[in-house]
């Protein structure tokens, strides 16, 4: 079968709480040229979609915090040009109708063949040139991360971040508001098949924090930086506003 690449590097937001399915879909989509962000709850998926509007959302309905139908409705209200596909085990006609009425463009019943999902994505994206040409520009307080140009600016002034510092900031910023595990950061920023020590992650994160704070201190006016919180035993989370006890995130 002829493999067709996605029209651009379309950004797919995956909202799925099942680890096995999520991991499989995330890896498969990446290997087919999509840029992916994976959120495990409805709330973090909504926050992510508002921070960095994706081209496509693949939405599970049975989520731990909210029902996917409500998330579909919210997503559709905020982003009209979104391609929204529901992936769920709920197969009744009434469920399919509810999903489509809530704003979904398509509906796939689990278990489905990955090749079918990929074919549907290509078919939908072919008809959406504007949506797939989306240029991700993340605004985090006074910090702007331009993913396509690989530039990071604080209050309009460019920060000369090192390669991995930029990649790490970009990985955290794409999932702003959601916890990102050390394993996911290692595989996204360093190597897809990383199983070794992760000391390099701590070192790079410390230098990223230092550079951001030094740049902020050098600004003539007070600036708002995103806050990177350390989640002991798990990973990190980037927040747009500092948590109430901002001391937790300092190195
Ligand atoms: Ca589920």
128 band by pLDDT with thresholds 50, 70 and 90? low
Same domain, 78 and 180: no
The model's confidence at residue 39, banded by pLDDT at 50, 70 and 90, is: very high
Arithmetic mean of pLDDT, 126-150: 71
Q: How far is the CA of 129 from the centre of ligand 1 (A)?
A: 31
The count of domains in the chain is 2
Which of residues 138 and 208 earns the better pLDDT score?
208
Q: Is 156 exposed, middle or buried (0-12, 13-18, 19+ CB in 10 A)?
A: exposed
Three-state SS string over the chain comes to CCCCCCCCCCEEEEECCCHHHHHHHHHHHHHCCCEEEEECCHHHHHHHHHHCCCCEEEECCECCCCEHHHHHHHHHHHCCCCEEEEEECCCCHHHHHHHHHCCCCEEEECCCCHHHHHHHHHHHHHCCHHHHCCCCEEEECCEEEECCCCEEEECCEECCCCHHHHHHHHHHHHCCCCEEEHHHHHHHHHCCCCCCCCHHHHHHHHHHHHHHHHHHHHCCCCCCCCEEEEECCCEEEEECCCCCCHHHHCC
pLDDT at residue number 250: 43
Task: Based on the fold, state whether residues 150 and 101 are members of the same structural domain.
Answer: no
Q: Which of 94, 126, 158 is the endpoint of a domain?
A: 126
* Whether residues 188 and 102 fall in one domain: no
Distance 7 CA to ligand 1 centre (A): 29
39 CA to middle of ligand 1, Å? 12
pLDDT at 5: 46
User: Which is higher by pLDDT, 85 or 132?
Assistant: 85
Does residue 218 lie in a domain region? yes
Q: What pLDDT was estimated at residue 133? A: 45
CATH of residue 218? 1.10.10.10
Mean pLDDT of 208-224: 92
Same domain, 101 and 186: no
Structure tokens at 107: 């509906």
Q: State in Å: Cα 62 to ligand 1 middle.
A: 4
Does the pLDDT value for residue 213 go beyond 90?
yes
Give the per-residue pLDDT at 26.
95
Ligand 1 mean position to 189 CA, how many Å?
A: 27
For the entire predicted model, the pTM comes to 0.52
The segment with the largest mean pLDDT, out of 15-29, 68-82, 149-163, is 15-29
Q: How far is the CA of 40 from the centre of ligand 1 (A)?
A: 9
In this prediction, residues 7-36 reach a mean pLDDT of 90
Structural domain span for residue 19: 11-126
Which of 126, 156, 177 represents a domain boundary (last residue)? 126
CATH number at residue 41: 3.40.50.2300
Average pLDDT, the chain: 85
Which of 126, 155, 189 is where one domain is finished?
A: 126
Query: Does a structural domain hold residue 246?
Result: no
Is the pLDDT assigned to residue 217 strictly greater than 90? yes
Q: How confident is the model at residue 4 (pLDDT cuts 50, 70, 90)?
A: very low
Give distance in angstroms: CA of 230 to centre of ligand 1. 27
Tell whether 17 and 119 lie within a shared domain.
yes
């Amino acid at each position: 079968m002829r493999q067709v690449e996605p029209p651009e590097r379309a950004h797919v937001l995956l909202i799925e709480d099942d680890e096995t399915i999520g991991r499989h879909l995330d890896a498969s989509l990446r290997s087919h040229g999509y840029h992916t962000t994976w959120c495990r709850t409805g709330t973090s998926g909504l926050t992510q979609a508002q921070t960095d509007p994706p081209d496509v959302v693949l939405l599970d309905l049975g989520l731990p915090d909210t029902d996917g139908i409500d998330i579909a409705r919210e997503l559709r209200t905020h982003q009209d040009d979104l391609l929204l596909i529901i992936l769920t085990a709920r197969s009744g006609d009434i469920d399919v109708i509810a999903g489509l009425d809530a704003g979904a463009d398509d509906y796939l019943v689990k278990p489905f063949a990955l090749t079918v999902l990929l074919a549907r994505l290509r078919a939908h994206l072919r008809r959406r040139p504007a949506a797939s040409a989306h240029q991700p520009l993340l605004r985090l307080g006074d910090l702007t991360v331009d993913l396509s140009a690989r530039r990071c600016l604080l209050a309009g002034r460019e920060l000369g971040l090192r390669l991995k510092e930029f990649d790490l900031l970009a990985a955290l910023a794409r999932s702003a508001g959601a916890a990102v595990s050390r394993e996911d950061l290692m595989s996204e920023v360093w190597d897809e098949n990383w199983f070794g020590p992760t000391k390099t992650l701590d070192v790079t994160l410390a230098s990223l924090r230092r550079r951001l704070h030094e740049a902020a201190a050098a600004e003539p006016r007070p600036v708002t930086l995103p806050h990177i919180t350390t989640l002991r035993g798990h990973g990190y989370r980037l927040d747009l506003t500092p948590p109430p006890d901002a001391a937790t995130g300092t190195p």
